[in-house]
Structures are given as structure tokens and as C-alpha cells.
Structure 1
Amino acid sequence: MTSPTLDVRDVTWAPRKRDPLLLEATSFSLNKGEVMGLVGPNGAGKTTLLRLIYGYNRPLSGDILLDGESLRKMAPRALAKKVAAVLQEQPSDFALTVREVVALGRVPHRLGLSTPGQHDAEVIEAALKRLQLQDLSHRSLSTLSGGERQRVMVARALAQEPQLLVLDEPTNHLDIRHQLEVLQLIRDLDLTIVTSLHDLNLAADVCDRILILKNGAPKGFGAPMDVLKDRLVSETFQVRAQREQLSVSQKNHLTFQL
């Protein structure tokens, strides 16, 4: 039996050992290429869990394994080669061009003070092209809109050539067209992906697995059709949720009422 790419085992987190837990014992596994959507109301613990997965914080207890190796045992450089993150908090005052920001994704792969090589240049160019940033490549990051900066950060993450991609609300700041493009990119990437999403219907459409959090505790994990049930969604978000099947696409769609 193939071992999971990402294996999260009973992880908990609090700022200090005696503080109340902000994330209660949480476990799940993802195979290579699977996309997991992390959903829940504000303050549910989504960002806390993401920070543990990309190594910003360490679990208070439990462990996270990537290809069978504990993140606790990985040096920062080794971790940066395997895990890339795109966060909601975007830098806006970098005195760097778009191409230079995307090139930062190659830093973990370079030895010492070595200069970028041909492979680095090809990876950077491919990332710029995939996010349709070629025409912006010489612009300063500080001159871009929030949506454009978001696309630059995704391109930088792709330039890392990671095994695991962590996305914190990747469609924030994006107009409808670029939201759809980023979601299509998520579907097309041959990567294991963990992403937080506010829109449950988008999460159901793009994700192989869904993890629901509420008040720092996991409430359900599994395939979207199995997890996004009317009752669980209603209890989690304190709304009245109803799942309907759209007649044209035959897809299930959640509607909400207070």
C-alpha cells in the first residue's frame, strides 16, 4: 500500500503549553496530487493549521509527515524545497520587479552564493507564462493591484517546484476571471495542494477532499459529497443550508439562508 504524501497525525497548537488550544487534535492524509479544501467560519483554525503544514509554527503535540519524513526534522532549506505557501498577507512595498520576486522561488535550490542557471531561468519563465505575467515581468511589485500581486505570489510558489503547495484563500483580491483561472490552475497542477476557501461551492468543485473546522476542532473530513451535508454545513456556519442539483450541469449546489 502506498504511503500518503501528506500525513497529519493528531496535531494540536496553542501559543504556549498552558494556553487554551487554538487547534484541537486534527488528523488527515492526502495522496500525491490530491487537493484538500479547508473550510470553516472565521476563527475556526484554518490559518493555524496551514501555518503548521508549511512549517511556520510547530505542533504543540502530534506530527506532520511529508513523504514519511517529519517536518520537525527537516532543515528550513530542505523544507522550502518541498513546501511552498501563498499567504493572504501580501508584500506591497518590495523594490523588486515581478520577475525578481518570482525568481525568489529558486533560492532554496541554489548552493551558497551561486548565480541562477539555465534551468532556473526556464522554471521562472514557465511560472510567469502560466500565470500570464510576461507583460508585467519588468514592473515593480509595488505598482500592481492586489489581484496581480496574488498571481505573482502563486508564480513564485510554482518556481519553487514544490511537492506540496499551501494556499491561504488564493482567490482573495481576484476578479471573477482570475478567480476561475486560479481554480483551473489548482485542478491542473500535478501537486498535492492544501487550500483554504470561503466559497463552499468552489471548494466542492475543485477539491478531492474537504476538511471542516469549527472553533479549532475538526468536524468532518472526506469527499465533498460526503462532507458537505446540509446538517453539518448548517451547524458549522450557523445558517440554513440546502443542497440542490442544478438542472443544466447536474452539479450539486449549496444555497444558504439565515
Structure 2
Amino acid sequence: MNVVQLGNITKTYVKTGRPAVSDLSLNIPEGAVFGLLGPNGAGKSTTVMMLCGLTRPDSGTVNVLGMDVATHANDVRKKIGVAPQEIALFPTLTAKENLNYFSRMYGLNGHELSRRTDQLLDTFGLTEKANKQVHTFSGGMKRRLNLIAALLHEPRLVILDEPTAGVDVQSRNMILSFLEKLKESGTSIIYSSHVLEEAERICSHIAIVDEGKLIMAGTRQSLMEHHQDCSTLEQLFLKLTGKNIRD
């Protein structure tokens, strides 16, 4: 079963006059850690916003968890977890107050809410910060809390847009280690990033995108076997696009 099906989606922003995403088709299988990989400006965040129903494609279809996002956007958002690139937290609320707010959006309360909140705060090393206002947190702490907010309701599909952007080494390792464990549980993950070393560590499937277009997609193993002259994803990206993803 595919948790996501994108059918020839195109999105053009009026100000730029060119497609941010152009005729993109993808199938993402259930249980995959799917790396949506490309440089800044490749169309990754626009694709994520269309998956979440926050923006509509100009053409094409977006199906998530068996639902057409065009007609069931609210139902889709209740069943997925999203950690956006921009930190989506209230800075003057404490960590727990933020999590209580987001959890009620998903219908969690009482003992279950308390158990899940305490468990995730401990997993991400934030128990001692639970009652501190978020504006006092480091960038890495905010990023970890942002991820917790996406995981509270145990979604079948988690969508992460540059989840390690601007974080310290400790936070990065903590996030990646958790995602490796989440992968083992069978949760489907979309991992949008330009950091290919991280994708090599956690992704089972990848799609390389550039200038809004799909360059290649498949299992990470099959793509690397097909391009045996490339020993890393960074080398594969350079071969397929002629560009260094870090530029």
C-alpha cells in the first residue's frame, strides 16, 4: 500500500512565474523512510505544503493515506504528523503548555496525554525543560520540541521538513537516533532535506528533485547499485544533476 500518491502535480507562484514543482509524480510505500532530497529551492517545501493541504497544486492530484487532499484536507491533517521547517511553537508558553495545546487538536487528553508527553520529553532530553518558556530554549531544543508536537498522536505518517536545520550535533544525533527507532516501528516517514549524509543513515527510499522536477526515485539500495561509480548520495546527486547540493 502507498501512503502517498502524487499524480503529475504542478505549482507555480505568480511572483516567480516559473513552477516551484513541475509535473511531479511519486508513490511512497507504507513503512518507508522516504528521503525527498534536493538543494534549497528545489521545490521540497512546496511539495510538503501540498501534502498537508496547506496549498493546492495548480494541476495534478495529491492522495495521502487513501484520501484526496483536495476534498479531505482536514481529515488528512488529523492523521499525519508534521514538523515544518519553520519552528511552529508559541515562544511565551512552556514546553508542556505547547504540547497540551497541540495534543488537544488531536483529541488527546487525561492520562494518555500525560503519559505520551512525559515519554517524548524524556526521549528527547527535555524533561528538565518541561516547565520553561520556549523562548529560553536553544535552537536544537526548539527543533526537538517541534518534532515532539508532530508525534504526540502517534500518526501513521510523519512529514519532516529539514528537521535538523540549524541544530547542534547533540540534537542532530538525538533526532536521527529516534527516527531510526521510529522506522523500526513501521511508521512511514517523509524526510525532506538537503543533508545527504543524514539520508544515507536513515532513508530506505529516496527521490532526488531539482528545480521542481523529479530526477530519479527508488529504494536507496537499488539506486546506488545502479550507479556503482557513486559511493555516496552526494556523488549520485552530482552525477545526475551536474550540481553540488551544498551550493
Name the TM-score class by shorter chain: 0.7 to 0.9
- Per-residue CA deviations over 1:126-156 (Å, capped at 9, x if unaligned) read 2212222111100000110111000010111
Equivalent residue, structure 2, for 1:33: 31
Q: 1:88-127 maps to which residues of 2 (within 5 A)? A: 88-90=85-87, 94-110=91-107, 116-127=109-120
Equivalent residue, structure 2, for 1:163: 156
Structure 2 unaligned residues grouped into runs of 5+? none
Work out whether residues 35 and 209 of structure 1, in 8 Å CA contact, stay in contact via their aligned partners in 2: yes
Kindly tell me: are residues 93 and 161 of structure 1, through their superposed partners in 2, closer, same or farther at Cα, counting changes over 3 Å?
Answer: closer
The question of 1:196 aligning with 2:192 is answered yes
Runs of 4+ in 1 over 6 A off after TM superposition: none
Alpha-carbon distance between aligned partners in 2 of 1:69 and 1:80, rounded to the nearest angstrom: 11
Per-residue deviation, 1:92: 7.0
Per-residue deviation, 1:50: 1.2
Alpha-carbon distance between aligned partners in 2 of 1:146 and 1:203, rounded to the nearest angstrom: 21
Work out whether residues 103 and 159 of structure 1, in 8 Å CA contact, stay in contact via their aligned partners in 2: no
Equivalent residue, structure 1, for 2:241: 236
User: What is the identity, as a one-letter code, of the residue corresponding to 1:55?
Assistant: G
Equivalent residue, structure 2, for 1:244: none
Computing the radius of gyration from Cα coordinates, the structure with the larger value is 1
Indicate which of 135, 140, 147 corresponds to 1:154: 147
Kindly tell me: are residues 75 and 21 of structure 1, through their superposed partners in 2, closer, same or farther at Cα, counting changes over 3 Å?
Answer: closer
Equivalent residue, structure 1, for 2:57: 59
Equivalent residue, structure 2, for 1:42: 40
SS at match of 1:5: strand
Alpha-carbon distance between aligned partners in 2 of 1:122 and 1:40, rounded to the nearest angstrom: 37
Indicate which of 211, 214, 232 corresponds to 1:215: 211
Alpha-carbon distance between aligned partners in 2 of 1:206 and 1:95, rounded to the nearest angstrom: 34
Work out whether residues 40 and 236 of structure 1, in 8 Å CA contact, stay in contact via their aligned partners in 2: no
- Per-residue CA deviations over 1:152-194 (Å, capped at 9, x if unaligned) read 1011111132221111111112222221221121121132111
User: What is the identity, as a one-letter code, of the residue corresponding to 2:86?
Assistant: E
Alpha-carbon distance between aligned partners in 2 of 1:13 and 1:167, rounded to the nearest angstrom: 20
Alpha-carbon distance between aligned partners in 1 of 2:88 and 2:4, rounded to the nearest angstrom: 28
TM norm structure 2: 0.85
- Per-residue CA deviations over 1:34-57 (Å, capped at 9, x if unaligned) read 111111122111111111112211
User: What is the identity, as a one-letter code, of the residue corresponding to 1:106?
Assistant: S
Alpha-carbon distance between aligned partners in 1 of 2:90 and 2:105, rounded to the nearest angstrom: 23
SS at match of 2:2: coil
Kindly tell me: are residues 201 and 91 of structure 1, through their superposed partners in 2, closer, same or farther at Cα, counting changes over 3 Å?
Answer: closer
TM norm structure 1: 0.82
CA RMSD, aligned part only? 2.4
Work out whether residues 7 and 26 of structure 2, in 8 Å CA contact, stay in contact via their aligned partners in 1: yes
Kindly tell me: are residues 184 and 130 of structure 1, through their superposed partners in 2, closer, same or farther at Cα, counting changes over 3 Å?
Answer: same
Task: Report the count of equivalent residues.
Answer: 234
Indicate which of 148, 159, 172 corresponds to 2:165: 172
Kindly tell me: are residues 92 and 7 of structure 1, through their superposed partners in 2, closer, same or farther at Cα, counting changes over 3 Å?
Answer: closer
Kindly tell me: are residues 227 and 81 of structure 1, through their superposed partners in 2, closer, same or farther at Cα, counting changes over 3 Å?
Answer: same
- Per-residue CA deviations over 1:91-115 (Å, capped at 9, x if unaligned) read 57621000111223312333xxxx9
Of the structure 1 ranges 93-102 and 139-148, higher mean CA displacement relative to structure 2 is found in 93-102
User: What is the identity, as a one-letter code, of the residue corresponding to 1:94?
Assistant: P
Equivalent residue, structure 2, for 1:245: none
Work out whether residues 108 and 160 of structure 1, in 8 Å CA contact, stay in contact via their aligned partners in 2: no
